[in-house]
Chain A
Amino acid sequence: MRTALTLLAFTVAAFAADQATLDKGMKEEQRTCIPCHSLRIIHSNRLSRAGWNKELDKMAGWGTKYSDREAILEYLVANFGDDKPVAPPELTTDGTVKK
């Protein structure tokens, strides 16, 4: 029982640490990506860790400066990994209606 509780405590601690990283990653994404493009183009992708890593490198090559690259990578893998279901398509509202 005690072992189980200790294990659980460790799991929770790890989970909490992860959540802090994910929160940091989300903020880092907003800070570094939004200046050039909206986030939809990121969030519609489902990539492996290696795939996201490559994308981060590509963007760094185009001038993005990460303050916490690890956090943004963890955030992307956790939310938009290739094991996650594809997001349902989103439609724009009608822009042909004259207001």
Chain B
Amino acid sequence: MQANRRQIFAALLAATAARKLTAADGVTIPGKRPLILHNDRPEDLETPVRYLNTWITPVDAFFVRQHIPRPPVIDPAAYRLTINGMVSKESRITLADLQKLPQHTVPATLECTGNGRAFFTPKLPGIQWGRGGVGNAEWTGPRLSDVLKLAGVDTTAKFLEIDGADSGVLQTPDFVRCMPMEKAMHPATLLALKMNGETPDIHGFPARLIVPGWDGTSWVKWVIRLTPAAKESGGFFMNPGYRYPKYALPPGTPARPAELEVIEGMPVKSSLTSPEDQSKIPLAPTVIRGFAWAGENAIERVEVSTDGGSKWQNAQLSTQKLPFAWRLFSLNWTPREPGYYTILSRATDTAGRVQPIVPAWNPSGYLWNGIDKVGVTVEKV
């Protein structure tokens, strides 16, 4: 019996050692505040919601999502953008050429397509994003339409293929995306040269795509090639990657590939930032805060409940009612007595879309936009 116990004990020790391998070992990302570490190579970092209480998310707090390793830092002087395919003159554009074009600034919310994946049941493979795979920034650069005109884009082209400088390891696919020319030529679609006035390499500069209202995957970083084309092109990150079922599926079941569609505009959504989930607050007046956004639409209304959804109140919204960018909301709240409270937020957009109670489960865990919910314990001081 003794020997058996020893054997079991040794096995348990080995299992503990296995777990230790994954323990924190002080990963630091230069230029970034402490962020939730989903992965360090390549970097996948989530913003804790307490940093999301301002309209503009500072670069040092902005989330990071990378599918494949970052390319070597691009020397601005050596940067070249190839424009080929359905154009009158194949071109290699310099950063100076892009800087000479009229510069526009678009405030827009960038959200990872899989933000909120961790909330789905059954669980799904991929980065287990909570609320913070999202941020709102001011993006500045030439319109993508003006860039394409430099090469004499053929107006009959229906799609635009975009290649980033990041490429896969072994046979991991190259990061290439494709979008309808209509969205590429939209005046708010930019080839950004700046993010909040900065040029952070980790966010895809010297040049990254800004596709306001569309999922983060469309916002290709380190853009080095634009190819107008007649037909939609493929690649893993277009198919089977980043597709969503046309018809809702029973949770946990696979989709028929033919019934999966490319994700474009994002749904309506709100997230609570304060008080934080499962925190304790004193029995005193407090402010409930959060942000809400709606893809290509603007936010019309955010309602908040402090009693699990029996009664709802309209929250106050920040003044800027813009498409593409989030609005901050707040509600003054004085809890009457101590105890545990379930706070909910529900957004409605200018097109009348309302955040659902139960978002549709889907096999890749995209587009979570369920009514947000935090629990808070109010204590007598």
Contacts and interface: CB of A to CB of B under 8 A. Distances in A.
Interface in B1-53: 4, 7-8, 11, 14-15, 18-19, 21-22, 24, 26-42, 44-45, 48
A12 B4 contact: yes
Contacts of A22: 14-15, 18
Given A39-B22, A44-B128, A91 B4 contact: no
A19 B130 CA distance: 33
A93 B11 contact: no
Contacts of A90: 24, 36-37
Interface in B118-140: 118, 122-123, 125-128, 130
Interface residues of B, number: 46
Contacts of B14: 19, 22-23
Query: Which interface residue of B8, B18, B24, B168 has the most chain A CB atoms within 10 A?
Result: B18
Contact of A16 (B7, B22, B33, B48): B7
B39 A38 contact: yes
B39 A40 contact: yes
A94 B33 contact: yes
Interface residues on A, range: 35 or more
Contacts of A44: 38-39, 127-128
B36 A94 contact: no
Contact of B125 (A55, A87, A93): A55
Nearest to B128: A44
A40 B22 CA distance: 7
A72 interface: no
A55 B364 CA distance: 12
B170 interface: yes
Nearest to A94: B34
Interface of A: 8, 12, 15-16, 19, 22-23, 26, 35-41, 43-48, 51, 54-55, 61-64, 75, 79, 82, 86-87, 89-96
What are the 6 closest A-B residue pairs judged by CB atoms, nearest first?
Answer: A63-B170, A63-B171, A41-B39, A38-B41, A91-B34, A36-B169
26 contacts: A15-B8, A22-B15, A36-B172, A38-B41, A40-B39, A44-B128, A45-B128, A46-B123, A47-B123, A47-B125, A54-B125, A55-B125, A63-B171, A82-B123, A86-B128, A90-B36, A91-B34, A91-B35, A91-B36, A91-B37, A92-B28, A92-B32, A92-B34, A92-B40, A94-B34, A95-B28
